[in-house]
Amino acid sequence: MSRFVRYAKRTLSERVVDLRSLSWGLRLLAILGYACVGLMLGATLLLELARSQQSSVEFQSDALSTTLQVPTLAMVFSALSLALGWAFVLTGASDCARRVFLPVAAIFLIQWILFAPAEGVLAPLIGLGGILLIGTVAWAHFFSHGSTRWRNLPLLEFVAWLALMLVAIAGLLFGEGRQQAAIDLETALSFPQVLTAPFWILLGLEAVDAAVKLAREIVLRLRRWISARWFGTLVILVLLIKPIISFALILNDGGWWGIDLVVSLLLAGWALVLRLSGRLTVHAASILLALSLVLPVLTLGWSQPFRKTDLTTVVLSGAGIVANVLPAALLFVGLATYDVLNFGADFANTNGRIMPRGGRVLMYFGTVLLVGSFILFFLNARVIATGQPDDSLDLLIDIPFVVGILFLGLPYLAWIVLRRRRRLVSEDLPSSTT
């Protein structure tokens, strides 16, 4: 157990934002960013699992032309996630060059028009006041970007942007009726939909990367536990059994396992040819085994959006995971967490002239929170007639995710096999013939 704890600590320390070179203000904001993302991801699952026990608001959706029901807590959490997301994005963008900040400010101006309350005594004041403030900040940034004042007080700037958004939230939730607030919030959150497509495509690529790293870890463990003499025999045995498992899954789970069957037969044949010719080294056997382990994960990933009631959902339900949680909530939470610890850390730990590290850190956390605000609301907004999310949500999530796996993930896997095999299997251990 202690060994696992040490391994988890070491792995986590390598996959978080390096705070040592950041100012104390940026450090606090980075820690706050992790906390906010964690809260948002936890709320996504909790709201989904406890949906039947929550008070809800019914409203007529203008975008979907149907009557929806959304939990009050989902409205609150999504509004807070939207506010926090924009506060992080704007604070980070102000550290970047004009070519980054000014487009972000223009996008936020559109978001503000959609987000500011439409009814209530203070609605005109909030709406016009926000527009004037945004315009003033953009003008000041354009003419004084060279000054270090934009980077010296990130906490103060973050609090100012957050306060502006919280004023709008207060006007939305308390200055309007619950139904009108839900309608306005739906309109405001339709804007972050633009961000969801590239984010889900990225998550599809992250799914492939996660599968590669998981397979690499399993193969590395086996190579340490099993001698080179027996390792090749074990690999051949696994590769010969794998097509049988794939065929059984075709019969009991779906035809999407056909690709897995074909590739499994090819890998088994390749391994036998290498063994008979005396060229099956430990390294070659490791590559074949790793590919055999990666493929089922990818099959589950790209086929999951199209599944109904089948073997996989039955097994997941038996494990305590309700079938209708998949793929959106569970998939989003798992892959978004992995993404923050993988791509997010790599992106935030890179410095640049146009986008300095401080700006990257805050903008990435803000982007995740903006996407989360959309997911929190629309994943929990149910069509009254069916009790399920609108079908358009499946298109917004499933298609980009599958595109990410098939059109980015598979070429990425091929690139690893051809050019970066060390990412798939370790070369630190002996590679003698098995």
pLDDT in tens, 253-272: 778 788 889 999 999 999 99
- Indicate the SS3 state at residue 281: strand
DSSP string over 43-99: HHHHHHHTGGGS-EEEEEETTTTEEEEEEHHHHHHHHHHHHHHHHHHHHHHTTS-HH
What pLDDT, on the 0 to 100 scale, is given for residue 79? 92
Is pLDDT above 50 for 319?
no
Q: Which is nearest to 434 in space by CA: 279, 288, 310, 259?
A: 279
Q: Do 108 and 86 meet the contact criterion of CB atoms below 8 Å apart?
A: yes
Average pLDDT of the segment spanning 316-331:
49
User: Residue 395 and residue 138: Cα distance in Å, rounded?
Assistant: 36
Residue 227, token pair as written in the block: 């001698």
Is pLDDT above 60 for 117?
yes
Q: Which is nearest to 342 in space by CA: 218, 217, 211?
A: 211
Q: Is 171 exposed, middle or buried (0-12, 13-18, 19+ CB in 10 A)?
A: buried
Alpha helix positions (H), 175-227? 178-189, 193-225
What pLDDT, on the 0 to 100 scale, is given for residue 273? 93
Beta bridge partners, 68, equal: 59, 383
Q: Return the higher-pLDDT residue of 406 and 316.
A: 406
pTM for the model: 0.79
Is pLDDT above 90 for 392?
no
pLDDT in tens, 327-382: 456 667 777 777 776 667 777 777 777 888 888 889 988 988 988 888 888 888 88
Q: Return the higher-pLDDT residue of 197 and 417.
A: 417
